[in-house]
Structures are given as structure tokens and as C-alpha cells.
Homo-oligomer: A and B are copies of this chain.
Amino acid sequence: MMKFTKTEKIRFKHVDFAGIVFYPRFLEMLNDLVEDWFEEALDRPFSKMHHTNGIPTVDLKIQFKKAARIGETLTKQLWVKNLGGASVTCAFQFDDAHGKTCLEGEVTLVNVALNKDSSDIKAEPFSENTRQKISQFLIQKP
């Protein structure tokens, strides 16, 4: 019943010619949020993942609702909508300082074994320990 929460300040490098965040930079901020969640809440830091493992993103849906500008601090939240054997679907929401939502969406990650020398990516079930930690962030719709 928890949401994982981080804040991030909009910087010069994030904004485009119009002075608003260039949307691929929002995806970097989302990846940072997932990275922090794995390290701080799931005890699986990306730095400790062997280079033949990973959690690639397989599905992504985002609605951009309000532009964000340099100097603003956004609150980034993530929680779990569905936990499968080797995959997890997370909901996320980035709000501005006034509580207005800048973007929201869902991202599905798959736990995999990677083979660097071929194109093979094979799904691999989460460990029981990881499943338990992920499920603490599971928020069911009523």
C-alpha cells in the first residue's frame, strides 16, 4: 500500500528551445525513479546486476498533462498495478509543487537474462524475495 517517492529539479539540460522539458528527458527521469526503487526499496541495485541480467522496459504509456519548466521541483511517484511471474507493471505520476500532475502513465518491466553475443533475451521469474518486496507497492483498484 506504499508509493515510492522521489523529487527531481528541472535543470537547464532538461529543457528545450521553448523552455519546457524535452519529453525524452522525462523518460530519463522515469528510468532514474525505477533505478532508485530497485536500489532503495527492492535491494537490487543496478550496479550489482551482473551485465548479463536486466529489467528492460517492454511497454510504456504516458500522458503529458502540463509542461514543466526550469527551476521547478517535481515529485515523482511510483507504485505497482500488476505483478506477474517475470514482469511488473508500475504506475507513475510526476506532480509539480502545487500538486498539479505534469505526467502520468504505466510502464511494464520484464526480468530477463541477456546474452551479449546474440540477440537473445529470455524472461526469468523474479526471486521470491524480490516478489515480496515488490508486492508491498501493489495498489489494487477498488
| Chain A residues close to B by CB (< 8 Å) | 11-13, 15-20, 22-25, 27-28, 31-32, 35, 45-48, 51, 54, 56-67, 69-71, 105, 114, 116, 119, 121
Nearest CB of chain B from residue A66's CB, rounded to whole Å? 7
Q: In whole angstroms, how far apart are the Cα atoms of A116 and B89 in the complex?
A: 31
- Which chain B positions have C-beta within 8 A of A61? 60-62
Contact status B67-A56, CB under 8 Å? yes
- Which chain B positions have C-beta within 8 A of A51? 17-19, 51, 116
Q: In whole angstroms, how far apart are the Cα atoms of A48 and B20 in the complex?
A: 14
Closest residue of chain B to A39 (Cβ to Cβ) is B71
- Which chain B positions have C-beta within 8 A of A65? 58
Q: In whole angstroms, how far apart are the Cα atoms of A60 and B54 in the complex?
A: 24
Contact status B69-A119, CB under 8 Å? yes
How many of these chains are in the complex?
4
Name the prevailing secondary structure of the A interface residues.
Answer: mixed
Closest residue of chain B to A47 (Cβ to Cβ) is B71
Closest residue of chain B to A10 (Cβ to Cβ) is B47
Nearest CB of chain B from residue A11's CB, rounded to whole Å? 6
- Which chain B positions have C-beta within 8 A of A24? 13, 24-25, 27-28, 31
- Which chain B positions have C-beta within 8 A of A121? 67
Q: In whole angstroms, how far apart are the Cα atoms of A114 and B66 in the complex?
A: 12
Instruction: From B27, B28, B57, B71, give the contact of A45 (CB < 8 A).
Output: B71
Q: A13-B32, A16-B16 are in contact. List 8 more A-B contacts (CB 8 A).
A: A12-B16, A18-B54, A24-B27, A45-B71, A46-B70, A58-B64, A60-B105, A67-B114
